[in-house]
Structure 1
């Protein structure tokens, strides 16, 4: 096997083909759909790639046209998909969004028995992490199949042995498993990560109702080196060592689609972390949180999970308040 290129971030997870009605209203009456792709880990991958980082995406896909679409889209975004496996026995997953003009969109998954659900620890290859600095995982993949949680755990252990840093977004999906199993599995993975990225509601799900500072202290005690608590419209707060830093939100006047905002937040935070390093030094934590908040706010203002994510020069211009010359 030829040597893989140096990689900033490795992600692993399921991407699905996303079908969305062209107009708002119930799915039952939608005559036409647009096609895209979506998945928490691939959303983060695209966000980081557009910001100039080298990303390797690990997955299993069906040997079907939907798998072709996902691979070509991610490769077109500059992501290394060389370690994604095509499975001739199990299909690529699909999901639908339903927009009714009020509240968050309804989501319908068709992913049971998908190619990714067949992942086992025996599938983990040393090449997945070759030349990589950081591993990003979510709590979605552990819910997808009988051995997927063990697979993610094994990969985190291997990354730790390789001296990599690890981030973990619980990304709770209640439709995929029981609350008891979700809580037990997600809590068991926190000691294996350096950066834990829960939303405030996910933190409450995991350990009950507490104050923000109590959440931060508790998850640090479990083994995370930094805890990044997403507060929605109230911004975010980060805990690292003895430090607690809160970053203001970026107000959004028109919310179109909230799905993918957490992934944009994660991409923004990780980009800041990878650029600046130690979160306990100087303003590194605040800078990463500020970028994360801004990325998350941008993601709510367009339809689709990742299509509107900015490139690096665009992000820096927007953060600095600059205006684009359009004509």
Structure 2
């Protein structure tokens, strides 16, 4: 297995017309989750991926499982929970790329993940364990599961990749900062955004953010996502900046960071240099924003190569 991830996936309900949700007359259901967005992105690029989670034993859970499995992600370690429902959220598309998200996930099946849900061999046999800062915020049991998964990965030389992906509504800032730093300290690769760096270290300078993560115990690579300004990467051996791909018409920015992670991990799995892996990450992240939905804009390898090729530069400025 190339990449295994742990986390919650929900059903997203989006009004068919843009504007305030109070005026919506109908909604389109879709599947969305930070970790599965990344896994599906990797799967479309030809990599083997696996998902650990819980779903409610309900129609929403069935929809999610069918979608994720249909994208080529292994779901053999996804449990159905008869006691708790599948979570959902509403995505309010207002105008000009402005999006508001309203979650209804409290007490969901995924928030009841337990230690028994972890398959040690599943994690041990993966190249990367991918986690986000969302899962440990869902519940105390989820936090325990994440910390144990990291321990398993460390015991078996599986690299831990961490996207802090802060959700302030889920926990107090003090608990969030403490937990995210604890996880970062045990991660091999960290993929923060500028806002997350500011939250954890009190600076918006990308180089200072990267160095702050590199000063932690186990971190060997940091890629700071800078949105329209691309990304800054740093390791003990090298550092540099990669320009963003300019998107002239942003349709839906949600999920771009998950696509970025998919592109970056794909590059590492293909043994690209860090710089080239970050370039692929920027391309995938840009492509996600051009299609409605969290994962629908994720490219397969042919579309990605076309997007990044020189003959496309007239249409996609950098």
* Alignment partner of 1:152 is 2:151: no
Q: Offset at 1:322?
A: 4.5
After superposition, what is the alpha-carbon deviation per residue over 1:10-43, rounded to whole angstroms, capped at 9, x for unaligned?
A: 0110000111111112222211111110000000
* Alignment partner of 1:267 is 2:262: yes
- Which residue pairs with 1:109 in the alignment? 103
Q: Verify the 8 A CA contact 2:118 2:145 in the aligned structure 1.
A: yes
- Quote the Cα distance in structure 1 between the aligned partners of 2:237 and 2:27: 50
**Could you tell me the TM-score, scaled by structure 1's length?**
0.92
Q: 1:64 aligns with which of 42, 58, 80?
A: 58
* Alignment partner of 1:242 is 2:231: no
Mapping 1:1-327, distance limit 5 Å: 7-209=1-203, 211-223=205-217, 224-276=219-271, 284-322=273-311
Q: Verify the 8 A CA contact 1:63 1:88 in the aligned structure 2.
A: yes
Deviates most, 118-127 or 167-176: 118-127
Deviates most, 96-105 or 33-42: 96-105
Q: Offset at 1:251?
A: 1.1
**Could you tell me the TM-score, scaled by structure 2's length?**
0.95
Deviates most, 35-44 or 268-277: 268-277
Counterpart secondary structure, 1:147:
helix
- Quote the Cα distance in structure 1 between the aligned partners of 2:212 and 2:88: 37
- Unaligned regions of 5+ residues in structure 1, if any? 1-6, 278-283
- Quote the Cα distance in structure 2 between the aligned partners of 1:215 and 1:33: 40
- Quote the Cα distance in structure 1 between the aligned partners of 2:57 and 2:311: 45
* Equivalences, count: 311
Counterpart secondary structure, 1:52:
coil
- Quote the Cα distance in structure 2 between the aligned partners of 1:270 and 1:188: 22
Closer/same/farther in 2, CA of residues 322 and 310 from structure 1, 3 Å limit: farther
- Quote the Cα distance in structure 2 between the aligned partners of 1:130 and 1:103: 40
After superposition, what is the alpha-carbon deviation per residue over 1:260-294, rounded to whole angstroms, capped at 9, x for unaligned?
A: 010011101111111116xxxxxx01101101111
- Quote the Cα distance in structure 1 between the aligned partners of 2:75 and 2:117: 16
Counterpart secondary structure, 2:140:
coil
Counterpart secondary structure, 2:281:
helix
